[in-house]
Amino acid sequence: MAAEPALGLHGGCGTLDRSLMSEAEWAESRAHVADALRAGWAVLSKGGAALDAVQATVVVLEDSPHFNAGFGAALTENGTHELDSSIMDGATLAAGAVAGVQRIRNPVKAARAVMDSGRAVLLLGAAADSYAEKAGLDMVAPDYFTTQRRVDALANLKRRALEGTAAKASEAEKHGTVGAVARDRHGNLAAATSTGGFNNKPVGRVGDSPIIGAGTYARNGICAVSCTGMGEFFIRRVAAYDVAARISYAGQSIDEASRVLVHETLAGYGIGAGMIVLGAEGDPLAPFNTLGMYRGWIDTAGHMTVATHHELHHLGHVT
């Protein structure tokens, strides 16, 4: 029996205070979320694989300046970019990732290339850039990723560091991530995550996004997960896998497993956290404990919903 496809994404729990962007800018960010969902749905609606759907979804988010991945990525303390991404196939548990890359236009495509090679799960830095170039992926100059918003955020965080007020910075100033989860008509699950890391991060820092089991996890029959938040804590808690373990071993529902992890376990560290989660059956869930989280989904009935803060925007049935 064919499964009903479903697709979900997050654009990071570092959503700005509503007053910091115009309504036109908020509308554009929601439109980009919808565009990403349509890209993934175009794959699923034709009977395509969940793995291809999450990649297509994340590519659109990487190309948008509204999110901290690809174009518009965060800057390190040295004013450079180091991007991370991963992808995982729930059917086979195959996975691929890259970390600290500087010249790959769409890091999620590089993660997929690593996975498809079967020779590694994670490639780093210049070696990963070189691998992607040899694989024929689109390469860019490092300054392609830079936007004025990220330059301003870096300057503000450096000022806060000097003043001793860095802890008071908003989630949006500090970090952001994008990710997607999908289920295809064969019931296969997949997840992908991509990020520029957090603003003013140490050079060489790697967060949870490219770490399988921490920021990304997918396993058929259980769940697909992509996380967003301060990655160090997601690594320590093996957060994405923890959702699957709670379901598989503790018998928790996907709603309980993800909600407890976000609102109790991770919130207990005093950090902003969120995730997009999809189970073996049913619709995507998007728990978060921050002011907002860019997010959207197309449920098993084919209805699209997008959001930035707590109110939901229902966009009707996707054709």
283 contacts: CB under 8 Å, gap ≥ 6: 6, 8, 297, 299, 300
Distances (CA, A) of 280 to 6, 18, 60, 182, 300: 10, 35, 25, 10, 12
In a domain, 1, yes or no: no
| pLDDT tens digits, 253-275 | 999 999 999 999 999 999 999 99
In a domain, 179, yes or no: yes
pLDDT at 153: 85
pLDDT at 1: 62
Range of the domain at 294: 6-317
In a domain, 264, yes or no: yes
177 is catalytic: yes
Residue 169 has pLDDT above 70, yes or no: no
In a domain, 255, yes or no: yes
In a domain, 27, yes or no: yes
Residue 222 has pLDDT above 90, yes or no: yes
Provide the CATH number for the domain around residue 38: 3.60.20.30
* Mean pLDDT, rounded, for 95-114: 98
Number of separate domains in the chain: 1
Task: Tell me the average pLDDT of the chain.
Answer: 93
Residue 175 has pLDDT above 90, yes or no: no
* Mean pLDDT, rounded, for 234-248: 98
pTM: 0.95
Please, which pLDDT band fits residue 149 given cuts at 50, 70 and 90? confident
Please, which pLDDT band fits residue 43 given cuts at 50, 70 and 90? very high
pLDDT at 23: 83
Phi, psi of 177 (to 5 degrees): -155, 160
* Mean pLDDT, rounded, for 96-114: 98
In a domain, 97, yes or no: yes
Residue 26 has pLDDT above 70, yes or no: yes
Catalytic residue among 57, 177, 195, 228: 177
Q: Are residues 304 and 298 in contact, defined by beta-carbon separation less than 8 angstroms?
A: yes
In a domain, 253, yes or no: yes
* Mean pLDDT, rounded, for 5-13: 96
